[in-house]
Amino acid sequence: MSARVAVVGSSNLDLVVSAPQLPRPGETVLGENFRTVPGGKGANQAVAAARAGATCDFVGAVGEDDFGTQLRASLVDAGVDVRGLRTVAGPSGVALIAVDRDAENFIVVAAGANGTVTELNADDRATIAGADVLLLQLEVPLSAVVQAAGWARAAGTTVVLNAAPAAALPAELIALVDVLVVNEHEAAVVAGVVSDDPPVLLDALLELVPRVVLTLGARGAAYADRSGLRITVPAPRIDAVDTTASGDAFTGALAVSWAERGGATTEDSVTASLRWACAAGAACAQRPGASTALPERAAIDALYDATYRGTP
Ligand code: RIB
């Protein structure tokens, strides 16, 4: 049976401009082209999980505008169950994104309809209870994130929190997280430490949550848990064109692999899950855009095999 993943989170229409370099504060740069792409960390992670092979439900909100219609259609096209996606008065979420020639980006999000996701309902609770893994991010109001995590904990559903965009977390949420997924910047903010040293960040985060996955971009990913297990895996070597949503591809694939392994707690299973997630993130970075770049399972498997086959 396929893994069941539930996502409570955001959906944004991404307004994307490519440019030779990213502007500094107060600077205008001439871009090269403009496109709109369905995105949002929640929707991206739902699409990532579905393409990676999970049965996936998405709980969130879009506005009564054309963007909302596009965002809903994009999730449906990916095979995500959208019975928990509300359409509300007002605009959908949007993200302004600039991407430079080194594949780096900056992103500014206007929450729009995502801001209305303050409280969940009984149907959402049943969805969460029926999932193996609940995936959460920080682009919808914290009240819904905490409520979803609490219901997941009560039902025995594993809570994976991707603490993005970076924010200090309230104690009531920290207490409900099974696996925290963060990049180095997010790790420092969540832990409240000034460091870019992965072992220091992992130690600090283990004071808060039982398992931490630290994404390291082109360097791969690191894992630590309270049993003392520490694992670092390298990322596939690729030519990145756009790193937008690579973290979402990573997190979605990690959730699927974690669920398929019934909770990845041994060294071998955690290593395999981290590698598979790194392959998903790298495959995403090889293509432009957010949801448009999220890889199918076959593409993840191919990059995984090409990178790690024969590696103990
Ligand atoms: O993680 C990438 C996503 O962040 C984009 O799709 C954008 O919508 C923002 O939510």
CATH code at position 48: 3.40.1190.20
Q: What is the DSSP letter of 113?
A: G
Is the residue at 26 inside a domain? no
pLDDT per position in the chain (312 positions), as tens?
Answer: 799 999 999 999 999 999 999 999 999 999 999 999 999 999 999 999 999 999 999 999 999 999 999 999 999 999 999 999 999 999 999 999 999 998 889 999 999 999 999 999 999 999 999 999 999 999 999 999 999 999 999 999 999 999 999 999 999 999 999 999 999 999 999 999 999 999 999 999 999 999 999 999 999 999 999 999 999 999 999 999 999 999 999 999 999 999 999 887 899 999 999 999 999 999 999 999 999 999 999 999 999 999 998 888
Here the tokens at position 267 are 């060294």
Longest CA span, the chain: 54
Residue of 102, 242, 248, 301 marked active site: 248
The CA distance from 170 to 310, in Å, is: 43
Is the residue at 81 inside a domain? yes
Q: What is the DSSP letter of 217?
A: G
**pTM of the predicted structure, to 2 decimals:** 0.97
Ligand 1 closest atom vs CA 38: 6
Q: What is the DSSP letter of 100?
A: -
Is the residue at 290 inside a domain? yes
Is the residue at 102 inside a domain? no
The burial class, CB within 10 Å (0-12 / 13-18 / 19+), for 285 is buried
The CA distance from 21 to 31, in Å, is: 9
In sequence order, what E strands does 125-203 have? Answer: 133-136, 158-162, 179-183
Is the residue at 205 inside a domain? yes
Is the residue at 56 inside a domain? yes
Domain containing residue 209:
4-11+39-91+115-308
Is the residue at 53 inside a domain? yes
Take atom 2 of ligand 1 and give the residue whose Cα is closest.
Answer: 245
Is the residue at 105 inside a domain? no
Q: Is 43 in the pocket of ligand 1 (CB under 6 A)?
A: no
Catalytic site includes residue 81? no
Long-range Cβ contact pairs of 191-195 (< 8 A, separation 24 or more):
192/168
Pocket test for ligand 1, best of 11, 244, 251 (most atoms within 8 A of CB): 244
Take atom 9 of ligand 1 and give the residue whose Cα is closest.
Answer: 40
Here the tokens at position 263 are 């909770």
Say how many domains are in the chain.
1
Spell out the residues 6+ positions from residue 223 whose beta carbon is closer than 8 angstroms to its own. 211, 212, 213, 214, 229, 230, 231, 232, 270, 274
Q: How far is the CA of 54 from the centre of ligand 1 (A)?
A: 21
